[in-house]
Amino acid sequence: MAYTAMKEFLQDELDGIRDSGLYKNEKIIRTPQGAEVDTSSGHEIIMCANNYLGLADSAEIEDAVADGLKTHGFGMASVRFICGTQDIHKELEEKITAWFGTDATILYSSCFDANTGLFETLLGPEDTIISDALNHASIIDGVRLCKATRKVYKHNNMNDLEEKLKESRDSRFRMIATDGVFSMQGDEADLVNICDLADKYDALVMVDDSHATGFLGPTGRGTPEKQGVLERIDVITSTMGKALGGASGGFTTGKQEIVDILRQRSRPYLFSNTIAPPVVVGTTKALEIIQTRPALRETLHENTRHFRNQMNELGFNIIAGDHPIVPIMIGDEKKNVALANAVNAQGVFVVAFSFPVVPRGEARIRVQMSAAHSRDQLDYAISVFKQAGEEQGII
Ligand SMILES: Cc1ncc(COP(=O)(O)O)c(C=O)c1O
């Protein structure tokens, strides 16, 4: 009986989502994630994956995973502290620590978990978290779970951040929390000024670098490395689900005591299985590739430069920057969907983003570059955007 009322309510909600054009349909891919995929709509160049370094279908990683499957099995059937820790989990943690030059690292089954398990473990009612307005949902949820006072500063606005730091002078601990790169914009947090303000007001700095780990900075250690502040960041969280092979998993790296207490008290770590053995082995291989093959990063950045230059020349409105996230700003929701549909119809797989993922009136197509894209694939996609953009009066 109870479900009859709920069913009606849910049907209304779903109709509302459909009517406002916000219903998310999942396109089925039948091949490995790569520069080109076979989908339910045909053969397509994929331009919306977080496969920044093109490692998602790497043969080397697949071989390592096949070996790892034989030596370490498929699953652990346990959380880490009972009987879910293998030598490969410790090795991956140590390799990440050595790469970042931090004290210690803890793995999670996702970066979402790393973020939701962070704040409530470290901070309490006497403390304040000061969070960028455009932070990822997992930071927002992590902050919600924590009893610390929450303050949100305007996106990348250092004056507002300073205001919030002044307002929270009486807190025991303060933590500034920011994405390294913001996923819908492709812009970077102003980490140099954030670190300066953190020093001035005695605050800790936490960076979620999911959209930068592996490819930003001279050795791929992300936004803090690119901006020369790696050693000034207290806590970094990131994902294995994007540049590091794209499978799944996350980690938190930073100060020894922070990682030690997370291992004792962080709820997603204590009460949920960690990364499965084959994924640990595959991610370890991905890390090795990233550390030894800078050419992958160079190809990614070269692809980004080419695509951004060409699209700018055509007259598309693109948020400026040099990140492989290339947001093509359309504004109107319906025009945005029409452009995405026209581009998709020509075999270029892109997604239209609109409210509530981005503010109303700021609809956009978020194109993402990969080192796996060839120049021909990029040029084809550019020509498709040109034709569709002209036909629809966007350029
Ligand atoms: C900034 C940011 N943080 C965290 C996540 C979540 O990562 P995961 O897929 O590892 O949970 C994402 C993924 O979209 C992200 O973009």
Q: In whole angstroms, how far apart are CA 245 and each of 193, 220, 242, 289, 350?
A: 32, 14, 6, 10, 21
CA distance 235 to 57: 30
Using one digit for the tens of pLDDT, what is the confidence trace for 190-225? 999 999 999 999 999 999 999 999 999 999 999 999
Question: Following DSSP, what letter does each residue of 224-255 receive, concatenated?
Answer: HHHTT-GGG-SEEEEESSSSS-SSS-EEEEE-
**pLDDT one-digit tens code per residue, 233-290:** 999 999 999 999 999 999 999 999 999 999 999 999 999 999 999 999 999 999 999 9
Span from the CA of 212 to the centroid of ligand 1 (angstroms): 11
245 lines ligand 1 (CB under 6 A): no
Q: Rounded to the nearest whole angstrom, what is the distance from the C-alpha of residue 295 to the centroid of ligand 1?
A: 25
What CATH number is associated with residue 351?
3.90.1150.10
Q: Is residue 332 part of a domain?
A: yes
Confidence class of residue 371 from pLDDT cuts 50, 70 and 90? very high
Give the domain range for residue 315.
22-51+294-391
Which of 277, 292, 307 is the endpoint of a domain?
Answer: 292
In the sheet that holds 363-368, the strands lie side by side as 325-331, 363-368, 352-353
Tell me the pLDDT tens digit for each residue of 127-165: 999 999 999 999 999 999 999 999 999 999 999 999 999
The string of pLDDT tens digits covering residues 84-115 is: 999 999 999 999 999 999 999 999 999 999 99
Domain end (from 292, 307, 335):
292
Q: Is 12 inside a domain boundary?
A: no
Residue 20: band (very low, low, confident or very high) from pLDDT cuts 50, 70, 90: confident
Atom of ligand 1 nearest to the CA of 248: 10
Is residue 1 one of the residues assigned to a domain?
no
> What is the model's pTM?
0.97
Q: Please say if the pLDDT value at position 299 is more than 80.
A: yes
How much is the mean pLDDT over the chain? 97
Residues 246 and 364 in one domain: no
Q: Is the CB of 242 under 6 A from ligand 1?
A: no
**pLDDT tens string 174-193:** 999 999 999 999 999 999 99
Residues 223 and 76 in one domain: yes
Residue 242 bears catalytic tag: yes
pLDDT of 22 over the 90 cut: no
As a whole number of Å, the CA-based R_g of the chain is 22
